Structure 1
Amino acid sequence: MVKLRSLILALCRWADRATAVLCGTACAVLVASVLAIVVLRFGFDTGFIKLQNLAGYAFAVLMILSLPYCLARGGHVRVEVISERLPAAYIRVADTAALLFLMVPVFGLMIWAYWPDLLYSWSIREGAIETGGLGGVYLVKTALPLAGGLMILQGLGAVLSPEARET
């Protein structure tokens, strides 16, 4: 049991590092593409639809992958009006129950419900909506179930972490 717990925690740490790299890359691509769009539009009176699509794709990936990144650092939102008056042990039990009985089923359902659409998108190699746009929409759509899986993994990591047992 201890070996499985440490394996899951190691997987969570590795997934968190990979998510951080993906978020950082998406952020850099977003900043660079928006800067290029502004310079090209206002400096040279020209534009590229593919560059605008790239900015949109980078933003989508950054936003969806920021959720598991935030969860891994305990940055989730909570209403502190009630919980600040409760004992730490109660909050830990409530967090564990919420992670296991609410978050895991919701994100599991999200993956399950979205899977057929994702498979179809991959089968047709879904491209851009606009004429002349950047292809690869199916790659961006893959970020949604990936983020759902990462949320489940980070939630399990939060429940199994050594810090969780100290409170």
Structure 2
Amino acid sequence: MTVLTTSAARIHSLTRRICQFLLGLIFIGQMAVVILRYVFGVGFIELQDAIAYSFAALVVLGLPVALVLDSHVRVDVIRTRQSEATKKWFDRFGTVFFLIPVFGLTIWWVWPDIAFSWSIRERSVETGGLPGLYLVKTTLPVACALMILQGIAGFVASFERPKDD
């Protein structure tokens, strides 16, 4: 394994743990909101914002995790009939001509909005809501950069020969 693929694997492991944590936070937080509202008659805007922030971060950070686990949605309906060499060729082509340009353009497109959000330290639109919405918005370009990193690592790994056991 190259340094790139090893580093990408470590980053994937960290991202996956973050996603698992966020999923647990969403579950526990939503249960607390339901119990507080319907048992005790209490609303808790901050907790609802924390759940919404966690969900937004989970959705975008789940993209690179799904890519590495090969769990993402594929458009090519004939993939099941393709040989391994053909699958690798399609994956390489998709990485170079679709994944890298699309996620690179997404970073370029959202960067001004992220910079503005940071400059005003954007917070929840709800009265009494949580601060830090700018941190949640930052997960989009981070996830895009992780997609590019994992795509390049997969591209490089596709040229490595499998080790004989």
For normalisation by structure 1, the TM-score amounts to: 0.90
CA distance, structure 1, for counterparts of residue 129 and residue 37 of structure 2: 17
What one-letter code is carried by the residue in structure 2 that aligns with 1:115? W
- Matched with 1:102 is 98
Match of 2:14 among 5, 15, 18: 18
- Matched with 2:135 is 139
Structure-2 change in CA distance of 1:71 and 1:53 (3 Å)? same
CA distance, structure 2, for counterparts of residue 68 and residue 60 of structure 1: 14
- Matched with 1:153 is 149
The RMSD of aligned alpha carbons is 1.7
Number of residue pairs the alignment of both structures matches = 162
Contact preservation (8 Å) 2:5, 2:156: yes
* Superposed CA offset, 1:44-82 (max 9, x none): 011111111111011111111111001111112224642
- Matched with 1:30 is 26
* Percent of matched pairs sharing the same residue: 41
CA distance, structure 2, for counterparts of residue 157 and residue 127 of structure 1: 35
What one-letter code is carried by the residue in structure 2 that aligns with 1:142? T
Structure-2 change in CA distance of 1:34 and 1:163 (3 Å)? farther
Contact preservation (8 Å) 1:158, 1:164: no
How far has the Cα of 1:162 moved from its partner?
5.7
Q: Where in structure 2 are the equivalents of 1:80-91 lying within 5 Å?
A: 81-91=77-87
Higher helix share: 1
Contact preservation (8 Å) 1:12, 1:154: yes
* Superposed CA offset, 1:87-145 (max 9, x none): 22122111101011110000000001111110111111001101111111001001100
1:125 aligns with 2:121: yes
Give ranges in structure 2 of 5+ residues lacking alignment.
none
CA distance, structure 1, for counterparts of residue 24 and residue 126 of structure 2: 24
What one-letter code is carried by the residue in structure 1 that aligns with 2:137? K
For normalisation by structure 2, the TM-score amounts to: 0.91
Give ranges in structure 1 of 5+ residues lacking alignment.
none
CA distance, structure 2, for counterparts of residue 40 and residue 84 of structure 1: 48
Match of 1:115 among 92, 106, 111: 111
CA distance, structure 1, for counterparts of residue 83 and residue 12 of structure 2: 29
